[in-house]
Amino acid sequence: MPLVASEMKAKFQTRIHAGLARVFSSDHDSQVDAQWMKMADAISDIALDLVMEIQTNAEVVPGQAVATSGGPGATVAPGKIQ
């Protein structure tokens, strides 16, 4: 399953917002919640960078176990992560 930057950003944003709400629960109201969503959106931009870095620079090493359509297998050469 390929990594999709926009999906990772959405997951990060949801997790960050939930964390802010948990940590600052005593300050929670609709106006504060809107600010937390803005902060979560800005912070979650790092997910875009993370996915791009993995897809551009990370490589699978030879011998890494992988699932194939024919059953278990192993990589035979370095390869990019999608």
> What is the reported pLDDT for 1?
67
The secondary structure of the chain as a DSSP string is: ----HHHHHHHHHHHHHHHHHHHTGGG--HHHHHHHHHHHHHHTHHHHHHHHHHHHH-EEPTT-EEEETTEEEE-SS-EE--
> What is the reported pLDDT for 41?
95
Q: How many domains does the chain have?
A: 1
Query: Lowest mean pLDDT: which of 28-32, 46-50, 56-60?
Result: 28-32
The range of the structural domain enclosing residue 61 comes to 5-80
Q: At what angle do helices 30-43 and 5-23 cross, to 10 degrees?
A: 140
Tell me the pLDDT of the chain averaged across its residues.
86
Mean pLDDT value across residues 61-69: 79
Mean pLDDT value across residues 35-56: 92
> What is the reported pLDDT for 59?
83
